[in-house]
Amino acid sequence: MITYIKLFLVTLHLMFCSTLALISAIFDRSNRTYFWISRLLSYGGLFLSGIKLTTSGLENFDKSKPHVYVSNHSSMYDILAMQASFPDDAVIIFKKELAKIPIFGWALQLGPYIVIDRQKADRAMESLDRAKQTIINEGISVLVFAEGTRSKSGEVMPFKR
């Protein structure tokens, strides 16, 4: 029963933060508020789920430079954990299917995040080029889940092309 209550609270939190992010994406072109809401979503989602995150090694990051974060993807909590542990803001590359989810997907599309079409190589390359430009021109880090999907076994899967 407690698991269902936690799931319900996390879902409400996701809906609330997605709505805020959508409004922010429309009115705040600097994306400062959007990134703040992303962190709020991450910290709140982890807290409501009862997950305690311990991060170490942040002192090794040069905060004056953007980074490319590459992660495996074994659960939806990977995204929350990564965002909560970043020493800086990061644009996430997300699969186009997520953009179809009402409010949440709209917030992803209108915000600074980058949609990738994994079925069409030319469109995927355009997305990666946009990620490169984000790093170079805006100095913002990028997060990519190179496996392209969640791994049921927890093992690292082959990276997508």
Considering the domain boundaries, does residue 118 fall inside one? yes
Give DSSP secondary structure letters for 1-52.
-HHHHHHHHHHHHHHHHHHHHHHHHHH-TT-HHHHHHHHHHHHHHHHHTT--
Residue numbers of the domain that contains 22: 2-54+61-144
Indicate the number of domains in the chain: 1
* Predicted pLDDT of residue 10: 96
The Cα 132–Cα 17 span in angstroms is 27
Residue 10 domain flag: yes
Average pLDDT, the chain: 89
In a domain, 161, yes or no: no
In this predicted model, which residue has the larger pLDDT, 102 or 87?
102
**pLDDT tens readout for residues 151-160:** 566 666 665 5
Q: Encoding tokens for residue 71? A: 């992660």
Q: Is residue 22 part of a domain?
A: yes
**Assigned domain for 157 exists:** no
Q: pLDDT tens-digit profile of 13-71?
A: 999 999 999 999 999 989 999 999 999 999 999 999 999 999 999 899 888 999 999 88
* Res 87: pLDDT: 82
46 domain-assigned: yes
Report how far residue 71's alpha carbon sits from residue 157's, in angstroms, rounded to the nearest whole number: 11
Other CB atoms within 10 A of residue 123 CB: 14
Closest CA to 86 of 111, 55, 108, 112: 55
More confident of the two residues 118 and 66: 66
* Residue 93: inside a domain: yes
Q: Does 80 reside within a domain?
A: yes
Question: 139: Cβ–Cβ under 8 A, 6 or more apart, which residues?
Answer: 65, 66
